[in-house]
Structures are given as C-alpha cells and as structure tokens.
C-alpha cells in the first residue's frame, strides 16, 4: 500500500491534505482546522449535481415508462410479444455497453464525455416516442434510450468514486440512489397530473418529458467537473478484459460471483405486482403501493449508504439479502392482502441496504485506474443475469405455482449470502489499496 500515491478529492475547495500513515482522516482534519470536520462531511459538488441529474432523468423516464405498455397496446396495436422483445433487446444492450463504456473510460481517463453523451442520447430519444406511428419505431427509440444508459452508468459511478473521500463513498452513492428513486416517485405523479388536463394525450405526456431531459444537460455541462489534477495519461498497457479481471483481485471477483448468484434469484418486480394482483388488489391500489414502495426505497438508500460508512459494507449487504430472502419466502406463504402489502413495503428496505453499499464496496475494492472497468463488470453482471433470472422464475411460476418460484428466489439469495461471507469486510475509514 502506497499512501503517498493516493489522493482524495472533494469539490469544490482546495485539494485535501494527504494522511500520514496510522492517522485517521477525521483526526487529521480536526488537527488542521476546527471547520475541517464540517467540510469533510459535505459531499462534493459533482456528487450533488449527479444526484440532481438522476432525479430529473428518472422524472422524465417515469413519465413515460409506466404508460408505455398502454401506449403500445392501445395506440399502436402491439402485443405482449412485441413488448417483451423491445424490453429484452433494450436491457441486454445496456448491460453489454456498461462493460464497454467502463473499459473505455479507464483507457481514456475521461468520465464526463461518456456521461454527457449517454444522458443526452437517452434524453433525446425518450420524448420522441410520442411521435411514433408504429411500434418498431418505439422499439428503436427504446433501444436508443438504453444505449444511452449503457454509455453513462459505469463512467458516472466511477466519477462519484473519483471525487468522493473514501470514508464518504456510502453517503455519496446513498444520495445518488435516493435522488434516483425520488424521480421515480415524481415521474408517474407528474404524468397522472398531466393526464387530468382534458386535452392531454399519452403522446403529449411523452413529448413534455423533454423538459426535464433538457435540464439534465444544463446541470451536466455547468455543474459536473472531473478531477483533472489526478488524471493519469491514457494508457494501453492493459488491452484485454481478462487482464483487467485479473488485476482487480480475488476479493472483487468473489464479490461479483456472489452478486451473480443473487441476481439469478432476483427476478423482475413485475412478478411481485402479479402476486399482489392475484391476491385481489385493484390496479389503482397497486399503482399507489408502487409509489409508496419507491418512497421507502428513496429513504432507505439515503440512510443505508451513510450507515455503511460507519458500520461496514458486508454486514449491511448481508442484512439486505436476508431481507430479500425473507420477503420472497413471505410472498410464497402469505395470502392476505394486508400481509402482502406490508411485506412489499418492507421489500424497499432491501434496496437501501444494498444498492449504495454494493457500489461503495466495488469502488473500494477496485484499483483506482480500473474503477470504470470494475463498475462495468458489476453492472454488466447484474444486467446479463437479470434476463435468465426472470425466465427461470417465470417458468417455475407457470409450472409449479408462485410458492415454488418465490421459494427458489429465496434459496438462491441464501446461497449468494454464503458466498458473500467469504469476501473480507473492506475498510471504511482508510484509503483503499492501489495496485
């Protein structure tokens, strides 16, 4: 471990002092100046700006996404097969591009160009769905939207790690995920409010989603900056994904294996909504419950990320996966509406203990020069495993019933938890090792 080579960034403000070996950063700050502790607790400007970007992006996206099946079926005459093909192609493409963009951002040592390109591409494509006359055009635009997501996700998460002090990574990712979920709450509410206007149509709502997309680009250009002072010259020393994989170390590989197994049991939330529907909940009640679920996720991710900076990453992810397993077992055995509603709301806690914490863990395990690649592999693993996960779950659901399907998901979460416990608890109060 070479502490003299490790630099910590916080924007705005002067570059932070290096920490002498054996001295905790908080102690070092308190010695330097009485106000240093307060400055250290503030998250960097770029992190807050990226949180606003995620809020506006999800606001725009969720004005469209919940209404897309209705638009395809009712307006364009597309069926379930077309909808499945559109979503399957879009998400698979995004998963692949997250790996590619992660490697590219490490090779070029630039984050912002891919982030701006990705958000810009998605923001331009989504509102144009409102002008589509046939469903293949919607498929193309949805594909373009997911291409943008694939381009931006890994560089964005790497940039958050670049500008955030190591012992604030959980808080940074917690804020970002909370803002993302806040947008997911606001988007459907805005769309529902617009549809109350007598002359408003689905196409009109889709076109109005361009407004938050434009605001996204303004925030990105004006408020998000890269930490140029620590950028290394672009290198071609590592040219293969295999060599990058080897350089990331055994702890990262074991974590990714655990995430892979867990994701194979983590099917689409549509099956949870289907179970609620089969229990007799009306469509309107399910919509309200879905919004409440996102409120729980928003709160939990904000708190969970900050909590992990104090208590450690592994134990919170483990508790989150245990909650997931318990939720799936409950969906297999609980039959009352009240019980299923309570369990579904508790399901939001799982996200708070895993989404920001896993990202902070990845950022801490990966070598600094391979952060983008590490996030690409992390997001790519989840995306690639998600498709067979839903197919497996759906097959069991149809063949053996919901109880067997949910029990299978819970069992896979248990296996993943055993694998997770083989990954050492990473430090949260000292800089990560640079390889």
The per-type count for the chain, helices as H runs and strands as E runs, is 18, 0
What is the spatial distance between Cα 191 and Cα 204, in angstroms, rounded to a whole number?
Answer: 10
Q: Are residues 260 and 298 in the same domain?
A: yes
Residues 303 and 168 in one domain: no
Evaluate whether 55 touches 49 at the Cβ level (below 8 Å).
no
Among 194, 228, 262, identify where a domain stops.
Answer: 228
> Residue 400 sits in which domain range?
248-425
Query: Within a 10 A sphere around the Cβ of 2, how many other Cβ atoms?
Result: 9
83 pLDDT above the threshold of 70: no
Which residues, at least 6 apart from 284, have a Cβ–Cβ distance to it below 8 Å? none
259 lies in the same domain as 384: yes
17 domain residue, yes or no? no
- Report CA 134 to chain centroid distance, whole Å: 31
109 φ/ψ angles, rounded to the nearest 5 degrees: 60, 30
Same domain for 293 and 148: no
Which uninterrupted H or E stretch holds 426?
A: none
User: pTM of the full predicted structure?
Assistant: 0.82
Task: Tell whether 7 is covered by a domain.
Answer: no
Mean pLDDT of 30-45: 62
Same domain, 209 and 289: no
Yes or no: say if 53 and 224 are a contact pair by the CB < 8 Å rule.
yes
Structurally, the chain folds into a number of domains equal to 2
Whether residue 216 is found in the same domain as residue 144: yes
Mean predicted lDDT score pLDDT of the chain: 83
**Omega before residue 69 within 30° of 0, cis:** no
4-13, 24-33, 230-239: range with highest mean pLDDT: 230-239
Determine which of 85-94, 292-301, 330-339 has the lowest per-residue pLDDT on average. 85-94
Q: Cβ contacts of residue 66 below 8 Å, gap of 6+?
A: 187, 188, 191, 287
The CA distance from 71 to 141, in Å, is 14
Q: Above 90 in pLDDT, residue 350? A: yes
Whole-angstrom Cα distance, residue 387 to residue 229?
Answer: 41
């Amino acid at each position: 471990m070479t502490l003299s080579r490790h630099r910590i960034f916080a924007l705005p403000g002067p570059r932070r002092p290096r920490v002498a070996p054996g001295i905790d950063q908080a102690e070092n700050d308190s010695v330097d100046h009485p106000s240093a502790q307060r400055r250290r607790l503030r998250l960097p400007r770029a992190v807050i700006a990226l949180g606003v970007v995620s809020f506006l992006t999800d606001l725009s996206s969720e004005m469209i996404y919940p209404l897309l099946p209705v638009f395809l079926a009712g307006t364009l005459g597309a069926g379930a097969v077309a909808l499945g093909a559109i979503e399957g192609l879009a998400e698979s493409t995004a998963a692949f591009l997250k790996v590619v963009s992660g490697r590219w951002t490490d090779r070029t040592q630039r984050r912002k160009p891919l982030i701006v390109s990705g958000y810009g591409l998605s923001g331009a494509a989504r509102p144009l769905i409102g002008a589509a006359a046939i469903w293949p055009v919607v498929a193309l635009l949805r594909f373009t939207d997911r291409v943008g997501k694939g381009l931006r996700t890994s560089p964005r998460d790497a940039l958050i790690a670049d500008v955030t002090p190591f012992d604030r990574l959980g808080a940074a990712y917690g804020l970002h995920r909370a803002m993302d979920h806040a947008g997911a709450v606001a988007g459907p509410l805005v769309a529902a409010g617009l549809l109350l206007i007598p002359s408003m149509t689905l196409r009109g709502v889709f076109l109005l989603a361009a407004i938050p997309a434009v605001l996204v680009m303004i925030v990105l250009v004006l408020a998000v900056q890269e930490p140029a002072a620590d950028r290394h010259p672009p290198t071609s020393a590592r040219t293969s994904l295999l060599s990058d994989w080897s350089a990331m170390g055994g702890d990262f590989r074991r974590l990714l294996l655990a995430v892979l197994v867990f994701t194979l049991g983590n099917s689409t939330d549509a099956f949870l909504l289907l179970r609620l529907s089969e229990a007799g909940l009306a469509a309107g009640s399910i919509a309200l419950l879905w919004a409440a679920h996102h409120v729980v996720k928003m709160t939990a991710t904000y708190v969970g990320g900050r909590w992990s900076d104090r208590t450690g990453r592994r134990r919170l992810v483990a508790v989150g996966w245990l909650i997931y397993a318990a939720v799936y077992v409950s969906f297999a055995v609980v039959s009352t509406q009240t019980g299923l509603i309570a369990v579904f709301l508790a399901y939001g806690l799982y996200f708070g203990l895993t989404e920001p914490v896993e990202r902070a863990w990845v950022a801490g395990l990966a070598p600094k020069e391979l952060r983008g690649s590490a996030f690409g592999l992390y997001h790519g693993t989840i995306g690639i495993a998600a498709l067979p996960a839903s197919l497996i779950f759906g097959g069991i659901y149809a063949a053996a019933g919901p109880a067997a399907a949910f029990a299978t998901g819970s069992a896979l979460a248990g296996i993943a938890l055993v694998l997770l416990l083989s990954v050492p608890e990473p430090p949260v109060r000292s800089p990560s090792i640079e390889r």
